Structure 1
Amino acid sequence: MRIIAFYSPKGGVGKTAAAVNIAYLASRDQVATLLWDLDPQGAAGFYLAGAQPVKGRKLSRLLEGKAPIARFVHDDVYPGLDVIPSHPSFRNFDIRLNQDEEGSHSLKKLLAPLSEETSLVVLDCPPTLSRLTEQVLELADRVYVPLVPTWLSLNSWKQLQAFVKSQKLPAKKLRPYFSLVDRRKKLHRELTESSDPGIERLLDVAIPYASVVEQMGEQGQPLEVLAPNTPAAESFRRLWQRIREDLW
């Protein structure tokens, strides 16, 4: 089982859209995929209309060993794509992890029962620097970091690098890529077209800013279903190919 995460310390950078679209594309390529929405805002549920949390299935029951992880999984939201939707109780995830001194409820142990039937886990992570972030960075085989080509977003990238270094986490797992690129803007063009933007391990894929991506939430569908012939859909297909080449 391979595990990837989409993470950024800055919100509003297209992280969830990428996680949903990559999870769907992986499942379409016959890769048994689980998407786990770890963000308590639950945006992935808007992009996948069939993956709303079931009432009463709180994270606390999972972390206390009172319910197996399989009870939280929505099977086959699309063929080959299972989803663990977010729940408001996920806001307490960090508190629970900090209280778990023996690590008996770490993300790795929580996911272990699903390893036989799942080839790829996609984690959609909240924009925080926390214990949960540390576990994701420790656990994931790769962490894909969307960067809007602005100085503020690039500063968040530097903050992430500093955090990784301070916690002695593996920086080599980080895979940044440009997201929400608007080529009408000079800075966006300059940064994305630069031969050396100064970002280590930057993927050669840029996800454009596109209104059709926003429509994913309205329609409750991944882009490959909603609008497969758009430049945005093609950019996500290229991103998935880079990810697949990187993992296997």
Structure 2
Amino acid sequence: MKIIACYSNKGGVGKTASAVNLAYAYAQSGARTLLCDLDPQGASGFYFRVKPSKKLKEAKFFEDVERFTKAIRGSDYENLDILPANLTFRDFDIFLSRMKNSRSRLKKALQGVDGDYDVILLDCPPNLSALSEAVFKAADHIVVPVIPSTLTERTFAQLVTFFDEQGLKAKKLKPFFSMVQARKTLHGDTMARMRKSYKGRFMDTHLPFSTDVEKMGVHREPTMAFAGNRPAGKAYQALWQELEKRT
């Protein structure tokens, strides 16, 4: 079972959209896929028209395998299940801070469905916290959307520094440029500079800024499902293919 986290320590970069479309791409390829929403806002579940389980609270998530598995919901797509978030997930950090071996708790919880899925996608909240550290421990690969702008460049540098200081495996990080506007000189310059600074780390594929991504909330389905032949849909497909090669 492969665990892939979609994570950024900055919000509004296209993290959830990437998690949703990558989960869809894996399922379409025939892989048994679980999209696990760890963000209390519950956007991933919303996109797939899945309501959260009110019974799966923070303690049960990490300690009750039966309750965890019962909270998993099927989607409208073959091979794709969803573990939707609820508002109690906002207390994950408080709960984890009180637990021994908190970094390993998420991985242990996910092992409860080992054998049922080929791939688990984690849609993570945008912060550096106890939950984030558990994600870094559990994930085999961490997909990081990066808007080519000054603030996002800064937050990505903070993430890399955090990995170095904590002795985490930086090779897990799979950054890619998101919401790219080709007409913006700033975007082009930032992409070139960051590719040079982080040699070999950034994915070749980048996601264009697109209204088709914004329309996911209207259609309540992945961009790849309703606009697969348009630029954003094709870019998500290319991102999945590259991720498969790199993992």
TM-score (norm 2): 0.93
Other structure's SS at 2:197 match:
coil
Offset of 1:76 from its aligned partner? 4.0
Other structure's SS at 2:121 match:
strand
Offset of 1:32 from its aligned partner? 0.5
Other structure's SS at 1:206 match:
coil
Q: Is the 8 A contact 2:102 2:134 kept in 1?
A: no
Matches within 5 A, 1:137-152: 137-152=136-151
Q: Which whole-Å CA distance do the structure 2 matches of 1:141 and 1:196 have between them? A: 22
Q: Greater shift after overlay, 52-61 or 9-18?
A: 52-61
Answer 1 or 2: which has greater helix percent. 2
Matched residue, 1:2: 2
Q: Is the 8 A contact 1:97 1:105 kept in 2?
A: no
Alignment gaps of 5+ in structure 2: none
Matched residue, 2:115: 116
Cα 1:193–1:232 shift into 2, 3 Å: farther
Matched residue, 2:134: 135
Cα 1:104–1:148 shift into 2, 3 Å: closer
Other structure's SS at 1:78 match:
coil
Matched residue, 2:106: 107
Q: Which whole-Å CA distance do the structure 2 matches of 1:124 and 1:72 have between them? A: 16
> Would you identify which runs of 4 or more consecutive aligned residues in structure 1 move more than 4 Å?
102-105, 193-196
Q: Tell me, yes or no, if structure 1 residue 231 matches structure 2 residue 244.
A: no
Offset of 1:73 from its aligned partner? 0.4
Matches within 5 A, 1:139-178: 139-178=138-177
Q: Which whole-Å CA distance do the structure 2 matches of 1:67 and 1:105 have between them? A: 19
CA RMSD for the aligned pairs? 1.9
Matched residue, 2:19: 19
Q: Which whole-Å CA distance do the structure 1 matches of 2:184 and 2:245 have between them? A: 31
Q: Which whole-Å CA distance do the structure 1 matches of 2:37 and 2:73 have between them? A: 12
Offset of 1:103 from its aligned partner? 4.9
Alignment gaps of 5+ in structure 1: none
Cα 1:56–1:234 shift into 2, 3 Å: same
Residue type of the alignment partner of 1:131 = A
Identity %: 40
Q: Deviations for 1:197-234, whole angstroms, at most 9, x for unmatched residues? A: 42241110110110110110111111121111110000
Q: Is the 8 A contact 2:213 2:232 kept in 1?
A: yes
Q: Greater shift after overlay, 107-116 or 15-24?
A: 107-116
Matches within 5 A, 1:91-102: 91-102=90-101
Q: Deviations for 1:14-34, whole angstroms, at most 9, x for unmatched residues? A: 000000000001000001000
